[in-house]
Structure 1
Amino acid sequence: MKIRLDCIVCFMRQALKASRLSTSDKKIQEKVLRSVMEELLKLDWSSTPPELAHRVHSVVKQVTGVKDPYREVKRMSNDYALKLLPRLKKIIEESVDPLETAARLAIAGNVIDFAVYDDLQV
């Protein structure tokens, strides 16, 4: 999949969200956005969205000095997932096809992307 126009807006939104998770300093957040805009101006339109996402998040990390802006969000969601584990195990055990059910639950867990979804409620 190649970059589309909608991807640009999404990457700017991701950069803003990641910068806000990294720091409350508005000047640094602004610097992140300006740096990402500069990066987007150099965009090779044959790039893929994951390639550009890597570049965008590298800028966020470089400007803010925070290696993982989503660390706390991921920790909280992992804690929540661990609380759900007994219920999910029961669903799998009681399923007609436990392997398929486990696979579907794993897929559902893997589609969670905190960089993409603004209002993700797990």
Structure 2
Amino acid sequence: MPIVMGFLVLILCSTCAIKMFSPPQTAQQQAESKKRQESDDAKRMAKEFVREKAKLPATAEFAPLKDFQVKTLGSGVYEISAFVETPAENGSKKRSNFVCELKKNGYKWELVQLDMPR
């Protein structure tokens, strides 16, 4: 047990030292990080809005988030394009493309428009 505790302390100290001696992010790096985070949040929210509004079955499979296309339209508005696959009656999968327009207001996301041909 003392060996395990010593190992955990060593890892904690190493992590703290790395953070202490790492150069701080520049304003540009911070802005890019925030932009990436908001883009990822927009993708996840689009997925949730599509699942909810299209009343998709639990077996629906979305494109991987990395394959979602994101357009920043300004003023906190994003346009997300991707696809979702749902089971068809014959056992195959039906792919439907969607375009979801979202707006971020503070910490909340609002659905502006959802286009998803059936």
TM bin, normalised by shorter chain, reads: 0.3 to 0.5
Superposition TM-score, scaled by structure 1 size:
0.33
The structure whose residues are more often strand, as a share, is: 2
Larger Rg: 2
